[in-house]
Amino acid sequence: MEQLEKGSIKDLVHYRIETAKSDLQSSIILLKEGEYRGANNRAYYAIYHAISALHALDGKSYKRHKGIQALPQNIDVMPTLMEFYGISSQVCRNPIHGKSLLPLIEGETGKVRDCALYGYFGKQMNIALLP
């Protein structure tokens, strides 16, 4: 964890939210162009920067992903937004595989899952385990 140096916490939160928005917009553009690997990468960083903005509210800042151990994934965005806006998962025809990040954001839990699969389309798969 690094110490915040210049600017206010509000400035840092705003910067990270804007970065997250930009990453998400890039992800949408790449997805529309069929660039799935790049779209997945940008979606991941949109989530990372949004969560980093929340950590900044508590005066925390991380240069690396090492400090975030909740294992959030891009499939968690939809259930998080649905819970935030009070939309029941029953409206979905298919099962939702992601998990809401609201308990994590609100400090009710320190992790979302114990492990996560990740990889690139058509390439090797990996598993991340929490210590």
In this structure, the answer to whether residues 1 and 60 fall within a common structural domain is: yes
In the 8-state DSSP scheme, what is residue 76? G
Alpha helices in the chain (DSSP H): 9-32, 36-57, 77-84, 102-105
Residue 116: predicted pLDDT: 83
Secondary element (H or E) of residue 1: none
Question: Which distant-in-sequence residues (6+ apart) come within 8 Å of 108 by Cβ?
Answer: none
Q: Tally the domains of the chain.
A: 2
Distance of CA 55 to the CA centre of its chain: 12
The residue among 20, 37, 65 that closes a domain is 65
13, 44: one domain: yes
Task: Kindly state whether residues 106 and 53 are assigned to the same domain.
Answer: no
Q: Which of 35, 65, 95 is the last residue of a domain?
A: 65
- pTM assigned to the model: 0.50
pLDDT in tens, 19-75: 999 999 999 999 899 998 898 889 888 988 888 888 788 777 666 555 556 778 888
- Cα–Cα distance measured from residue 11 to residue 73, given in angstroms and rounded to the nearest whole number: 26
Q: Are residues 41 and 83 in the same domain?
A: no
